[in-house]
Amino acid sequence: MAYTVPKLKDWSAKALDKAGAKLLAALEQESTAVKNKADWKTFRDRWIGRKNGVLTQINDLWLKAAPKDAKRDVGQRVNEIKQQVTAGVEATAFPEGQVNPRIAGEGRSVLSRPASRGVGTVTAALDISLPGNRRALGAEHPIIKTMNEIVSVFRNLGYSVEEGPEIETDYYNFEALNFPPNHPARDTQDTLFIANQESKPLRDRLLLRTHTSPVQIRSMEKMKPPVRVVCPGKVHRNDAPDATHSPIFHQVEGLAVDTNITFCDLKGTLDHAMKALFGSSVKTRFYPSYFPFTEPSADVQISCIFCGGTGYRDGGRCPNCKASGWIELLGCGMVDPNVYRFVDYDARKVSGFAFGMGVERIAILKYGVDDIQLFFNGDARFLEQFG
């Protein structure tokens, strides 16, 4: 007759031991009837099934029904029984098409009970000649891997790493970075605003940060010069997803503020960083640009890593640099003196530079990916290539 979980009337330790011993004896007896994998699945579901397994029943009939003063002791006994039943069920498992080794072999019991306790300890048969279970190792996502590589380059130059919140105020995301209200550059950011902020003053309204530049402001608020930080993180913009755009992407921005920092320091720093990321043969060039928080500002290009800067490869025009021999990579500039007044720095005594680069942009170049959406689709076949 199949074992049925009884209702308990006596909650003493002796009674619990006796009930536990009967349950484990029933488990041992029923395990002998397991002859193939189908039998084992039925056996497993009967004992440890989530809906109406024996373990679920003892939880309802023993633990939940126990008097308040006995719940602690009953709970300990029930947990012991659950562990022993689970291990006992697993000990009867075996590969498809094989006879249960415990039944066909030594006849060793899945349960051995020491005389000191009515509830036994489970020991499973161990065949040391079987190969071990190799646990699959994970790997860094290509975006995280690339971000860590960029950060490590600047850490080796003495920069520290700073992070900040992804939900920012208008003050840190725009105003403190020299974006006054109604500034046309605000429109180019395609900002995602948090709902129901209209009643707040403009500088206090919440939004999803459009760049990691707010971390630079927060860093200068809590540090006095010299400051050398890199700010990696996720940013958000209201961009329609396509092969080159995503509403979520990642940036690494950097900031250096000290006395007598010049544009030459900026050029030397970024030239070294690009060579560290793409190889010592890579060249850099700077040409004028505009950013509200730097003056003067520049865009940085590197010589095309696909055609060696010639503009041609495989007998035709290089499609990566459009035959120009250069690839635009990041923006930079000297920190605008107007920014210093938001953090109580004296622009007459200090100077500095800032730069920012998109991690996806660099990952696309390093790994030859042609669609930014591949980084976010979660396709294991794509991601396994970077393991």
Strands (E), the chain: 111-112, 121-122, 160-161, 167-169, 192-193, 206-208, 227-236, 248-258, 284-291, 294-303, 312-313, 316-317, 326-335, 351-358
Q: In what order do the strands lie in the sheet with 227-236?
A: 160-161, 227-236, 248-258, 351-358, 326-335, 294-303, 284-291
CB 36 within 8 A of CB 25: no
Summary mean pLDDT of the chain: 86
| Per-residue pLDDT, 124 | 54
Spatial CB neighbours of 385, under 8 Å, sequence gap ≥ 6: none
The CATH code belonging to domain 142-386 is 3.30.930.10
Q: Cis check for the bond before 296: say yes or no (omega within 30 of 0).
A: yes
| Per-residue pLDDT, 74 | 86
Top pLDDT among 26 and 217 is at 217
Q: Work out whether the CA dihedral 167, 172, 177, 182 comes out positive or negative.
A: positive
| Per-residue pLDDT, 149 | 96
Least confident of 213-222, 251-260, 364-373: 364-373
Confidence of residue 95 (pLDDT cuts 50, 70, 90): low
| Per-residue pLDDT, 267 | 96
Tell me: pLDDT of 96 over 80: no
Dist. CA 387–CA 385, nearest whole Å: 6
SS3 helix, strand, coil % of the chain, rounded to 5? 40, 20, 40
Angle between helices 263-278 and 142-155 (to 10 degrees): 130
* 3-state DSSP assignment of residue 370: coil
How many residues does this entry show for the chain?
Answer: 387
Domain boundaries, the chain: 13-122, 142-386
CB 353 within 8 A of CB 332: yes
Nearest to 284 by CA among 265, 296, 267: 267
| Per-residue pLDDT, 32 | 85
Which pLDDT tens digit goes with each residue over 66-80?
A: 888 888 888 888 888
Tokens of 254: 């950097």
pTM (predicted TM-score): 0.65
Tell me: pLDDT of 385 over 70: yes
What is the mean pLDDT of the segment spanning 218-232? 95
Which pLDDT tens digit goes with each residue over 327-343?
A: 999 999 999 999 999 99
| Per-residue pLDDT, 227 | 96
Top pLDDT among 328 and 98 is at 328
Which pLDDT tens digit goes with each residue over 162-209?
A: 999 999 999 999 999 998 888 776 776 688 889 998 899 988 999 999
- Scored b (16 or more CB within 10 A) or e, 258-296 reads eeebeeebbbebbbebbbbbbeeebebebeeeebbbbee
